[in-house]
Amino acid sequence: MAINFSINDKIRINDSYIANYLRYLPSSPTLQQTLQSLGYLGPGLLQVLASGNYLPYSFIRLLPLTPQNLPDFNSPACNRGNGLTLFFDSDEQINACFNQSAGMQSNDFQVFTAVNTGAVTIPGGYAVYQTGIDAETSYPTVDKAHADSIASSSYCGLAETDILVGAIGTIRTGGCFQGINTLGGALGGPMFLSTEPGLLQTVPSRFIVQVGVITGIGSKGTIRLGPIFASGALPIRGIFG
């Protein structure tokens, strides 16, 4: 395995991987320092300044960027343009912890790449949760999220388009999303994860997971995604900085 990211690549943190997998690994000084450092990087784009191996660890040095793709000197992780170095236990952890795609070259919204390991196609606009990490690609694996168990209610985004079984697709975690049934709701009102796999609704279910707020009413309405709030849980930024 090798690190997937090269110098000057633009990437984002994969919040779902951190919240649902990385932070549950056996504690070690390296892991604890990495989790704290990730909180300093923020939700925006990051530029890769360096990556490699310092045995037995893998490392990546990242520079936070502004919406104009300039160094964010207001970020504590900017370090006068030198960026922040993070150490991981393996290349696989780095590849899973960050995501890169054409859609991530803009700060207007957040997306990440994932593999559908469920039994059926995930339609565009359906909510998903992370089930693990794909051994071949190191991408997160996802299935339809539903609010009737702790695991399946760990929502991490909406499928941008249909994702066939075993196929790679794009998951949207922020910004506006059109094509969601918001009938019965009100402008500015919340949208919640449903107990029906992948669907959203205007009223909370057993496990309360707010996916976003309504910005357009209709059978193909619009919602603004995030932040993720779930009963008994904090958003990723609340946990790590």
- 60 and 100 share one domain: yes
- Token pair 């709030």: residue: 229
- 84 and 123 share one domain: no
Sequence-separated (6 or more) residues with CB below 8 Å from residue 108 = 175
* Residue 221 is assigned to a structural domain of this protein: yes
- 23 and 100 share one domain: yes
Spatial distance between the Cα atoms of 175 and 13, rounded to a whole number of angstroms: 16
> Does a cis peptide bond (omega within 30 degrees of 0) precede residue 235?
no
* Residue 120 is assigned to a structural domain of this protein: yes
pLDDT digits (tens, 9 = 90+) for 202-224: 999 888 888 999 999 999 999 99
Please give the residue that has the higher pLDDT: either 91 or 165: 165
Mean pLDDT lowest for which of 71-80, 99-108, 120-129? 99-108
Helix (H, G, I), strand (E, B) or coil at 40: helix
- 151 and 164 share one domain: yes
Give the pLDDT of residue 136.
82
Give the pLDDT of residue 20.
62
Q: Which domain holds residue 228?
A: 175-232
Of the residues 132, 151, 172, which one is the last residue of a structural domain?
172
- 189 and 162 share one domain: no
pLDDT digits (tens, 9 = 90+) for 97-113: 887 644 444 444 477 78
Instruction: State yes or no: pLDDT of 27 exceeds 80.
Output: no
Distances (CA, A) of 127 to 68, 160, 161, 230, 237: 30, 10, 11, 14, 20
Spatial distance between the Cα atoms of 145 and 207, rounded to a whole number of angstroms: 11
